[in-house]
Structure 1
Amino acid sequence: MNTAPLRLAMINSDGKSAPPLPDPEGVVTELYELRLRAFARTPYDQLFTELGTLDAAEAAIAAGCDAIYIDTFADYAIERVRTAAGVPVIGAGAAAVAAAGAHGRRFSVVTVWPESMAYLYDERLANCSGGQHCAGVHFFSPEDELGRLGTRAGVKARMLRRESDIVDRLAEACRSAVRADGAEAVLLGCTCMSPIAGRLAECCDFPVLDASALGQQAAFDALRCTTAPAPRARSLRAGTASRLVDTWLASGFADEPSPDECDVCVIALNDPV
């Protein structure tokens, strides 16, 4: 008797062309794209980022997926998704922070984003198991990097091209973080850093942890967990986010120029960048 594979919905927050990990036997990972994309450069903008994430998650719930994986360090809308879903919901940030700080390991976070994005890291580290073991957060880019979102010159496009200069500089940023913090490992602070995680690990003599891969692995584990989840209040308004996004898209507002030029940096690995 054939058993249908378990379906993992990966909310594709940074526009990957494929998940970071291959599927284990009996699991199929499906990418769910965001219809509404907005870069959370401020807490105000985060509201729209979370609405787009919740909309994609509601599509996965309606499609009958067996678990939802939110592929972003910030775990956008994770608690809101959990109140709408009757299946496990895993966030890259919470899973990665827990793995980095396991057994009391002292770790540093290195992110490609500038220091103005610190509010996202403060929130995740304060609210995720293992966050107390973070020795420091290090911001790689200057503030004007946000003006290059979605362009050929942006840091994400450069990482996707695996430019040796950006790899070398980020590797040095990892080594400097460990020296400054007395840390035992570095946790990469954005899932968009996943394409160069292996290269960075080769350049360092300590663990360099890929939040995207750690999150997906935690989602695989959740699919196979037989322990019943703790009871959680369910929203009486599930589905509202998708109707709001429908209205947003129908209004034409989404076609207006974005203050971020490109709402979020979305470039597939095989795209010409």
Structure 2
Amino acid sequence: MSDIQQYHYPKSSVSTQQGAVLIVVLLFLILIILAGVIAVKQSTTNLRLATSDQINALLLQSADNANQSIEQSINSDSESEIYQDMMSRTGVFGYFILDPDNIEHEYVFCFRPRGQFFDIKKTTIMLPGGGTVLGGKVGDEAAKGYCDISKPADYVSERNASMTQVNISLTPPNANDEAFSNYTIGQDSAEIASQAFTFDINSTAILPAYADAKVGTKNCFEQTSRVRSVTDSDNTIGGCMAKAGVPSTIVYEQANVENLSLRTKCVDFGKGSGKLCTLPSS
């Protein structure tokens, strides 16, 4: 009888192997999910940045367009219709230049570049005490200078994407200003046409589609642009828009404006009739 020894080898657990494979698969799934989440988040961030850049570019273009239109109009021929409107007694600049009592007022109009961008009959004068004066008939809603998001005509383009409101006021005097620096050499200081007036021009462009331009019952368009006149920044047009969550951009410009329509032009190197005129610098 042969002596045969039997060896018993340990049997591996099938359930244990299946559990190890499951853990490895789950780890791979977790890694894939994390990679997907990171990719989606990165794509979303890039999309937001691109959208933000587009919004900022559109708003800056809308606000700057208003300032450029004002500059071109006031530097144009003093006999043109738009110049006469802006320099008339009820115009955006003539209102201050021809009546010194209006120094603390603020002139408001909605920029409408698809027609004549400045309509003298659709303006609002904001008074220091909180009241207003309309450019048209008193109490006529259509005469208000504030932009209205419900009116397609108040948008910059037919896409009804952005709108721009312009607030203009006289620049407050500063102790550091040079004496008589705003007077023209060669002109009689008693004449209005000899003096240049300094204005603060604030053009506020917004995208109404992102949020309503109101905080409760307060219309942001009806707030002042004169930061010095309020104690709470939320009561300014820019601060109110920010609180309402409306994408907005304000372009501020300080401009010197002279009433050339009241001035006699120089001819033949200063030889003219009537009022003295500015002599050439060289």
**Do Structure 1 and Structure 2 share a fold, with TM-score over 0.5?**
no
Q: Which has the larger radius of gyration?
A: 2
Relative contact order: is structure 1 or structure 2 higher (C-alpha 8 Å, sep ≥ 6)?
A: 1
Normalized per residue, the structure richer in helix is 1
After TM superposition, the score normalised by the length of structure 1 is 0.25
After TM superposition, the score normalised by the length of structure 2 is 0.24
